[in-house]
């Protein structure tokens, strides 16, 4: 990838959430099921901070300076950097979240290994993503070459994410799903498990 699309299409990224409010709110509801309350967390590849702001995640890192400009306007404590080489000491956080970002990371396995390093004992990792095998995942994968953002994505299945998590010594504790209706006419209530919803949230413990 020569250019980061998130540096080029920053405004379009923000606009998408306004145009797809029901989808956004459905995803937030699912993630809220697993985000620890009152703990020190970081969102890795935080983007504009639109999720972190709603989820009360105060810290973040992202390779796109234009996205970070928006995150700073949301009063988030963010730094420029890459998921595969986190500029934080060992055991710095209680939890680390990857929200719709794992498919854009060139080496997600290394990113998960880095997340393990910066988490305290019994810290938790949260990975929220579009399941490659879901209805929406199949559509996005099929049409990704024409997408401003997903043209650089490598979608993962639930089993692939679980394998990476377990290979890095985490133990899966909870799985939540939503976007069973991929056209999201109403805000969906999340349900446990996977296989029905296109948006899946996995939580695992160190």
pLDDT at position 150: 78
pLDDT at position 8: 65
Q: Which residues in 35-49 are b (16+ Cβ under 10 Å) and which e?
A: beeeeebbbbbbbbb
Least confident piece of the model among 36-40, 144-148, 201-205: 144-148
Centre a 10 Å sphere on the Cβ of residue 198 and count the other Cβ atoms it contains: 25
Least confident piece of the model among 68-77, 136-145, 153-162: 136-145
User: Comparing C-alpha atoms, which of 154, 151, 155, 156 is closest to residue 5?
Assistant: 151
Domains in the chain, please, with CATH? 5-205 (3.40.50.150)
Q: Tell me what the mean pLDDT of segment 93-107 comes to.
A: 96
Please count the CA atoms within 13 angstroms of the CA of 52 that sit on its side-chain side.
Answer: 32
> Residues 176, 152: contact at Cβ < 8 Å?
no
Q: Tell me what the mean pLDDT of segment 3-12 comes to.
A: 71
Instruction: Evaluate if residue 99 carries a pLDDT over 50.
Output: yes
pLDDT at position 1: 40
């Amino acid at each position: 990838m020569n250019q980061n699309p998130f540096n080029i299409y920053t405004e379009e990224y923000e606009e998408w959430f306004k145009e797809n409010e029901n989808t956004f709110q459905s995803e937030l509801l699912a993630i809220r099921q697993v985000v620890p309350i009152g703990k020190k967390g970081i969102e890795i590849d935080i983007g504009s901070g639109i999720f972190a702001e709603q989820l009360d995640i105060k810290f973040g890192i992202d390779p796109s300076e234009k996205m970070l400009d928006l995150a700073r306007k949301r009063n988030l404590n963010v730094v420029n950097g890459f998921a595969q080489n986190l500029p934080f000491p060992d055991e710095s956080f209680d939890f680390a979240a990857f929200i719709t970002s794992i498919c854009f990371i060139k080496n997600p396995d290394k990113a998960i290994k880095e997340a393990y390093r910066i988490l305290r004992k019994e810290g938790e990792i949260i990975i929220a993503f579009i399941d490659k095998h879901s209805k929406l995942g199949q559509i996005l994968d099929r049409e990704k070459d024409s997408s401003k953002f997903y043209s650089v994505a490598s979608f993962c299945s639930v089993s692939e994410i679980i394998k990476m998590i377990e290979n890095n010594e985490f133990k899966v504790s909870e799985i939540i799903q939503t976007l069973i209706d991929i056209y999201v006419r109403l805000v969906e209530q999340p349900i446990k498990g996977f296989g029905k919803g296109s948006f899946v949230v996995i939580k695992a413990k160190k």
